[in-house]
Chain A
Amino acid sequence: MINIHNYEIWFLDYAEGNLNAEDEKKLMLFLQNNPQLKEEFASFELISLEKEEISYSKKSVLKHSDHSDKEMSEFETLAIDKIENNISVDNNIRLLELLSDKKNSNAYKILKLTKLKSDPEIRFKYKNKLKKGKNQILTLLKSPYSIAAILILIIFAQIFNNFQSKPELSQNIQNTDLVSNSEKEIVNEKSIKNDIQNQIVTSINKNNLEASLNNERKTESNKKETNFELEEIENSTVTNNNPDTDIVLAEQNIPAIERLKTLSIKNNFVTEEFSNDSKLISEMGINSNNIKSEKLDKKSVDNIVLLTPKEFLIKEVKGNLNIDDKKYNSFDPITTLMAVAEKTNLVDATYINKRNNDQREITLSIGKFEFQRKW
């Protein structure tokens, strides 16, 4: 029921046309009884808002699509769809139409360039550092440099052990009556040097010989395993399943006479021999630019008789190897280097492996010769 407290609601409902006929009668009766409200009732009728034509001008900014970009044209969208392999058959046809425009065609060529291609030459150099566990050692052994370094360490360890276990070497010299005390010292020193050198050469040769013979046996598996005949070795090819050793073996399979000729012509034995032999350098991890050498006189080099690995093996098995053969022939470059060192009467060989953060430096000094590699 309309009263003095709720009349405004009735006025508003009337203005909006929400009152039925009966309620309108009640309202009119209320106004007759309260004429002071007639003016207010009339003002309600005057209130009305007219729609204004105001629109938001940046609707497009707010819109979204799958790959919305306010500045992306139909052509760009379709072209990128194509590059991304997301294009439908219909859109592909539409794209072909758009590509008839030269400007679009050029733009498409450039868009195709945005498909990045990785550069396989970019490689991570420190994989070995990341590896864990025993595989790290196996990975190390895959590198010829590491093998060379490990071999040197093993050799020196063997020499040290053998030398400690053979005190008779110096005792023999001390017991002789033919030399004076001062002479004893000189002879002793020389004997030790020679002993070290011979042991180096012998141990390497022995290891190589054993390895070669083992491989020989593997390749000749149909032949009898025991009491192998020298003739069989002579007629067989020296093979080795170790790829790292294969390089050296293959390199040394040059006929002995050819190698001798090379050595005879070239005065600078070490530099020429090693800098010309990239595989050997690679095997040793030697950068030829860093090789410091002293010239050997031509005459001394001429007297060296070089053997192929097979010749060396046969002579070794037959027991026909003389001192010079052992000195200047071997299966691996380390032995050759040691032989060169001996040629210059120098036996002090050192191996330094430095590591400073990511920098590594290996220095192999044999007498006056120093081979250095940094990486």
Chain B
Amino acid sequence: MNTKDYNECVDLYSDNIYRFVLKSVRDEETANDIVQDTFMRMWQHVEKVDLNRAKSYLFKIANNLLIDLHRKSKFVSSNPVEENSLFYNHEYSDLKEHLDRALNLLPESQKTVLMLRDYEDYSYDEIGEITGLSASQVKVYIYRARKKMKDILIKAKIDL
């Protein structure tokens, strides 16, 4: 990949990476930092990166940075107190808010694979490559994530 390819990747994928990271960390500044760090790391190895695999490569870096962040800050999205509060909190009246809330209550691994699946339309194999999981593990995580989200939404008694 050359400089031009790299800059094209910025145009094509920085929004996707940003959305993915922002959903995970829920903080714009942190998300900006991670996106910049992601592209900086790709730039360091730009000549070795295959353009056709650049997007996956970026997601892989971003995911690794997120894992590091979660480890360092003990940043855990799912916690029992929050989950319980969902069912009694009438603040989340909007469907989108409910969905965001339910997504954030998933374990990080399930949330990650679900976002890659739905936002980026990746296959199980591709998600496996990004996350380091096997394709069957990815599938299991996605199924569990959908079921858990469904259960949360049913308990929240959302209006359809």
Contacts and interface: CB of A to CB of B under 8 A. Distances in A.
B7 A135 contact: yes
Interface stretch (A77-85, A220-228, A324-332): A77-85
A126 B153 contact: no
B87 interface: no
A124 B147 contact: no
Interface string B78-99: 0000000000000000010001
Given A113-B95, A130-B36, A68 B153 contact: no
B60 interface: no
Interface string A116-147: 11111011111101111101100100000000
B19 A122 contact: yes
Contacts of A62: none
Nearest to A123: B15
Interface string B143-159: 11111011001100010
Query: What DSSP secondary structure best describes chain A's contact surface?
Result: loop
A63 interface: no
Given A113-B95, A124-B18, A127-B14, A132 B119 contact: no
B118 to A, nearest CB: 4
A131 B139 contact: no
Given A110-B154, A110-B160, A133 B119 contact: no
Contacts of A119: 19
Q: Which of B39, B115, B136, B146 has the most CB of A within 10 A?
A: B146
Sorting the interface of chain B by its residue count into under 10, 10 to 19, 20 to 34 or 35 or more gives 35 or more
A267 B158 CA distance: 56
A58 interface: no
A63 to B, nearest CB: 13
A76 interface: yes
Contacts of B6: 131-132
A116 B114 contact: yes
A125 B40 CA distance: 16
Nearest to B28: A125
Contacts of B150: 76, 107, 110-111, 114
B142 A84 contact: yes
Interface of A: 66-69, 71-72, 76-77, 80, 83-84, 106-107, 109-111, 113-120, 122-127, 129-133, 135-136, 139, 358
Interface pairs A-B: 4 shortest CB-CB = A116-B118, A124-B18, A67-B143, A133-B3
Interface of B: 3-4, 6-7, 10-11, 14-19, 22, 32, 35-36, 39-40, 43, 95, 99, 102-103, 114-115, 118-119, 136, 139-140, 142-147, 149-150, 153-154, 158, 160
27 contacts: A66-B140, A69-B140, A69-B144, A76-B147, A76-B150, A107-B154, A109-B160, A110-B158, A110-B160, A111-B146, A113-B95, A113-B99, A113-B149, A114-B102, A114-B145, A114-B149, A118-B118, A123-B18, A126-B35, A129-B36, A130-B10, A130-B36, A130-B39, A132-B3, A132-B6, A133-B7, A135-B7
